Amino acid sequence: MAKAAKQFVCQSCGAVASKWSGKCEACEEWNTLVEELVEKPRPGSLAGSGAGRAGSLGTSTIRFTGLKGQSQAAPRFVSGNKEFDRVTGGGLVPGSALLIGGDPGIGKSTLLLQVCAALATGSNARDGMACAYISGEEAVDQVRLRAERLGVSDAPVALATGTSVRAIVEALQIDPIPQVVVIDSIQTLYMDTLDSAPGTVSQVRAASQELIAQAKRLGFALILVGHVTKEGMIAGPKVVEHMVDAVLYFEGDRGHQFRLLRAIKNRFGPAAEIGVFEMAEAGLQEVANPSALFLAERQEEISGAAVFAGMEGTRPVLVEIQALVANSPLPQPRRAVVGWDSARLSMLLAVLEARCGVVLANKDVFLNVAGGLRISEPAADLAVAAAVLSSITDVPVPASCVVFGEVGLSGEVRNVAQAEARLSEADKLGFTAALMPPLRGTSGKAKAPKVAKGLKTYPFEKLMDLVLHFSKRSAQRGGPGLETREED
């Protein structure tokens, strides 16, 4: 019998150490090293010394082929849930593995149960697919109660509970083999060949590898639910995200009814795509036009607010950015940000002060992205600057105007990708003006955007032009104006 060796594995990053210590040297997290047993490779196994010799595997060798050849497009299991299908690239691919993570209680199980019911039902009885929902966290009665609340209890979904990977694999091989399998969640499963507890790095990695191998062999689409850490990352080894074909994050603020399904990785579709849902009594409802929903409660002619025309994957999304600037009684003014990068805000405020002379060192700045959406693209720089300047001067940004553009460290306003798609979405929602960088072609020459005649664009080449615009309008209205540095 092979002798088991001991090792210490970090539960945060998966690093292996030969002895225990309070701090992981790889990720510098404290108290994350857990002792696990690992069996040494048996003589003659793939990990043994003879595995790499030529011909040791007999006829089971790889065969090379050329890049050019006939390949068919991957078929899809379309659920009919347009937002879910959008994020997955048009539906689930047979034999693929998908990992979805999110905060506790955000609605992961609700969404997947609705998707399974939609796939199993289909447009008619003949279109329905064989779906299996395996829960390792809840009892059968709990899942049934959720299905009844969602109104999908009549859907022909095969339901089971279990945490043993061996038992799950044996159940999946019984005819008829399901076409879609949901595992909720991967952190609750265990391999009986390992002595470590469920949820540890070795268990999550081994269970995921075994289930993904079965999905490839039997041809069913596998959906794994993953827990997240306090930082919002999927718990367990990072290698699991490399093993699967798609990684989705289910995001949302508990104070808002909106939920976002965001693709971080997708081998069968575009990455960074989002699907928008609204949490209602009957479950998660699709939001066909998220821009209109995010702007539904917007108040017009309010200073400190600007509408940003952003891009989430291939979808243009309009969202309101709110800023509040006030005199600070503290020696270290506060910078509070919700929905945007705080480091990006600090950089933008530094550009306003150093390049444009706007004094902000003695003021508190609060920034919020309305609706619970989180923005990551730098194209929001100009909209944030407009909201900050609007708050300082008490001059509202026109309600019919959208803003977008990237700001450089020298104070220039840089062009952004897919500008015409942003303008088209703004025109569709009734906006008539856009503050934006000048569009330039590949030769560097300025060009006019292809937009509807009802939308007028106002190009800004320098951030100073925007500052002068608000300063002039503040003087016309008799407002407080901008506090600027005195030049030598």
Residue 57 has pLDDT above 50, yes or no: no
pLDDT digits 0-9 by tens, 336-367: 999 999 999 999 999 999 999 999 989 999 99
Residue 46 has pLDDT above 60, yes or no: no
For residues 253 and 332, the model is more confident at 332
315 lies in a domain?
yes
pLDDT band per the 50, 70, 90 thresholds, residue 23: confident
106 lies in a domain?
yes
For residues 302 and 231, the model is more confident at 302
320: nearest Cα among 332, 339, 306: 306
pLDDT on residue 263: 92
How far apart, in whole angstroms, are the C-alpha atoms of residue 72 and residue 151?
A: 37
Percent of the chain with pLDDT over 70: 88
Residue 66 has pLDDT above 80, yes or no: yes
420 lies in a domain?
yes
246 and 270 in contact (C-beta within 8 Å)? no
83 three-class SS: helix
pLDDT on residue 95: 94
Calculated CA dihedral for residues 79, 84, 88, 89, nearest 10 degrees = 80
Residue 487 has pLDDT above 50, yes or no: no
pLDDT on residue 92: 94
Question: Are residue 10 and residue 23 in the same domain, yes or no?
Answer: yes
Question: Are residue 139 and residue 275 in the same domain, yes or no?
Answer: yes
314 residue type, one letter: T
The predicted model gives 55-81 an average pLDDT of: 75
pLDDT band per the 50, 70, 90 thresholds, residue 488: very low
63 lies in a domain?
no
191 and 65 in contact (C-beta within 8 Å)? no
Residue 447 has pLDDT above 90, yes or no: no
Among 259, 288, 317, the domain-final residue is: 288
How far apart, in whole angstroms, are the C-alpha atoms of residue 184 and residue 218?
A: 20
How far apart, in whole angstroms, are the C-alpha atoms of residue 262 and residue 476?
A: 44
pLDDT on residue 3: 55
Residue 202 has pLDDT above 50, yes or no: yes
How far apart, in whole angstroms, are the C-alpha atoms of residue 168 and residue 187?
A: 14
pLDDT on residue 122: 79
Among 244, 267, 288, the domain-final residue is: 288
Residue 21 has pLDDT above 90, yes or no: no
Residue 61 has pLDDT above 80, yes or no: no
54 lies in a domain?
no
Residues 6+ apart with CB under 8 A from 57: 51
For residues 141 and 49, the model is more confident at 141
66 lies in a domain?
no
Name the phi and psi angles at 213, rounded to 5: -65, -40
How many distinct structural domains can be found in the chain?
Answer: 3
Among 233, 261, 288, the domain-final residue is: 288
Using only C-alpha atoms, what is the Rg of the chain?
A: 27
DSSP character at residue 186: G
How far apart, in whole angstroms, are the C-alpha atoms of residue 482 and residue 98?
A: 51
H helices of 341-418, in order, are 342-354, 381-393
Question: Are residue 263 and residue 332 in the same domain, yes or no?
Answer: no
44 lies in a domain?
no
CA angle at 385 for the pair 380 and 388, rounded to the nearest 5°: 125
Q: Which long-range contacts (CB under 8 A, 24 or more apart) does 252-255 make?
A: 252/102, 252/103, 252/106, 252/107, 252/279, 252/372, 253/372, 254/105, 254/106, 255/372
pLDDT on residue 58: 46
Domain extent at residue 270? 82-288
Question: Are residue 265 and residue 382 in the same domain, yes or no?
Answer: no
Question: Are residue 266 and residue 241 in the same domain, yes or no?
Answer: yes
61 lies in a domain?
no
89 and 269 in contact (C-beta within 8 Å)? yes
The predicted model gives 214-240 an average pLDDT of: 85
Overall pTM > 0.85 = no
pLDDT digits 0-9 by tens, 282-302: 889 998 888 887 887 787 778
**To 10 degrees, what angle do helices 463-477 and 342-354 make?**
70
150 and 283 in contact (C-beta within 8 Å)? yes
